[in-house]
Amino acid sequence: MERGKLKLIFSEIIEGYSLVTSKLFGDLKIKHINNFDAAKTDIKNHHYFEKAVEQGLPKREEKLKYLIKEKLWDPEKDKETDRLKDLLKGMNKTKSKLLLQVQIDAIRKEIEETEKKLASLLAEKEEIIGFTAEEYANRRINEYYMHVSVLNDKGGVLFKEDEFDELEQDQINEIMSVYAKNNEKFKNNVLKRIALADFFTNIFYLCDDNVFNFYGKPVINLTFHQIEIYSYGRYFKSILQNSEDKIPEHIAEDPDKLIEWAESSKNVKEVLEKSSVSDKDGAATSIVGATKEDLAKAGISQDEDVIDLSKKAQEQGGKLTMEDLMKLHGVK
């Protein structure tokens, strides 16, 4: 996403609302949700859920037990879902500890494939479970969000809460579409990019890591977008400040690559510190499979600090003994 669009989204986050245009309703203002809005929805969600149960809609857990009893849902698929979730958790933990970029790229591909499998299983389950008391409550909460969020261009209520059921289907679809399309702008990857952009960091670094200094109001009054982007700002600031080595330009503006770079850089240094023999004569460092870029993360010059074992072997007649390797690493 280009810089201009990111800056516009940041402006909306600061103001706490977005301006949009609807074919049916004209110019609208979409208010960003805050903690007070969320608290009200929690209360209403409980109310709607209890109402649905009283009207005879089954609870999700009860519906699932029925489906299993009637052999309409295989519980083994739930076990597979849990397995995939655990697998993802493990792979992400492993990725955060890898040293080499080729390893990171490989496990990232495995993570993406596993996420697709998990999403497919979850979608299949939701389709079979169908309409429940929880689903009814969720739909009513979505309607409430439309009521408190989608306002007219003056900031007034577009329609009353009890008027939603009276709207025509095309009006409901239009409101939902406008709201969903606007929310697309505030996905995590977009907020992360804003947190690395100069128009954000230029003012963020002046607030002394104080959220009130940055927004001028208490945390409880902030929108979720404001809280999230501030958190990303602190996280990336920590990475940039604590990096002992120059971060490549193509990585510095890509949040996901920057996180991977910081994690692998830390891992490389930890490995080197554990195996360090720098206080011994003839000491040198080598990491099997490391590229020049991998070693640069730890501030290692490939030309100066890394032993070229192939070259050393040629000098020794094509073969290195254990004694030769020990000498190369400063072990006498």
Give the pLDDT score at 261. 78
pLDDT of 46 higher than 70: yes
Residue 244 resides in a domain: no
The DSSP secondary structure of 73-125, one letter per residue, reads: S-HHHHHHHHHHHHHHHHHHHHHTT---HHHHHHHHHHHHHHHHHHHHHHHHH
Residue 302 resides in a domain: yes
* 142-168 tens-digit pLDDT: 888 888 899 998 989 888 877 877 888
pLDDT of 274 higher than 80: no
Residue 295 resides in a domain: yes
pLDDT classification of 138: cutoffs 50, 70, 90: very high
pLDDT of 273 higher than 70: no
Q: Which residue range is the domain that position 282 belongs to? A: 277-328
Confirm if 141 and 111 have CB atoms less than 8 A apart.
no
Give the pLDDT score at 325. 44
Give the pLDDT score at 292. 63
Residue 296 resides in a domain: yes
**Cross-strand partners of 30:** 18, 150
- Residue 202's Cβ-count burial label (10 Å; 0-12, 13-18, 19+) is exposed
Residue 117 resides in a domain: no
Give the pLDDT score at 266. 75
Residue 162 resides in a domain: no
The DSSP secondary structure of 200-225, one letter per residue, reads: HHHHHTTSTT-HHHHHSS-GGGSBHH
More confident residue, 222 or 297: 222
Give the pLDDT score at 16. 96
Say which DSSP state 316 is in: T
Residue 298 resides in a domain: yes
Number of domains within the chain: 1
* 179-198 tens-digit pLDDT: 999 999 999 999 999 999 99
Dihedral sign computed on CA atoms, order 222, 223, 229, 231:
positive
**Angle at 286 (CA atoms; ends 283, 290), nearest 5 degrees:** 160
Highest mean pLDDT among 28-32, 170-174, 251-255 belongs to 28-32
Say which DSSP state 19 is in: E
* 193-223 tens-digit pLDDT: 999 999 999 999 999 999 999 999 999 999 9
At residue 316, φ and ψ (nearest 5 deg) are -100, 20
Say which DSSP state 322 is in: H
Confirm if 13 and 227 have CB atoms less than 8 A apart.
no
Closest CA to 156 of 26, 14, 31, 40: 31
Compute the average pLDDT of residues 20-38.
94
Average of per-residue pLDDT values in the chain: 83
Q: How many other C-beta atoms lie within 10 A of the C-beta of residue 233?
A: 24
pLDDT classification of 323: cutoffs 50, 70, 90: low
Residue 305 resides in a domain: yes
Mean pLDDT check: name the lowest of 158-172, 232-246, 270-284. Answer: 270-284
